[in-house]
Amino acid sequence: MRDRITPLLSEAQIRDRVQQLGAQLVKDYAGKDLVVVGLLNGVFPFFADLVRAMAMDFDISFMQVSSYGGGLESTGEVHILKDLDRSIQGRHALVVEDIVDTGLTLFKVSNLLKDREPLSLKICTLLDKPSRRKVAVPVDYVGFTIEDHFVVGYGLDLDGKLRNLPYVGIYHP
Mask for 66-105, x = binds ligand 5GP (CB under 6 A): -xx-----x----------------------xxxxxxxxx
Considering 49, 98, 101, 128, which one is annotated as catalytic?
A: 101
Peptide bond preceding 164: is omega within 30 degrees of 0, i.e. cis? no
Interacting residues of 110 by C-beta distance below 8 A, sequence separation 6+: 95, 121, 123, 137
Residue 115 known to be catalytic:
no
C-alpha 22/C-alpha 139 separation (Å) is 16
CA-based nearest residue to 93, from 53, 41, 33, 31: 33
Q: Binding-site residue total for ligand 5GP (CB under 6 A)?
A: 18
Q: Is 38 a residue that touches ligand 5GP (CB under 6 A)?
A: no
Least separation in angstroms between CB 55 and ligand 5GP: 27
Between 67 and 110, CB nearer to ligand 5GP: 67
Q: Is 109 a residue that touches ligand 5GP (CB under 6 A)?
A: no
Among 145, 150, 164, 172, binds ligand 5GP (CB under 6 A): 150
Bridge partners of 34? 92
- Which residues here bind ligand 5GP, judged by CB under 6 A? 42, 67-68, 74, 97-105, 150-152, 156-157
Enumerate the active-site residues.
101
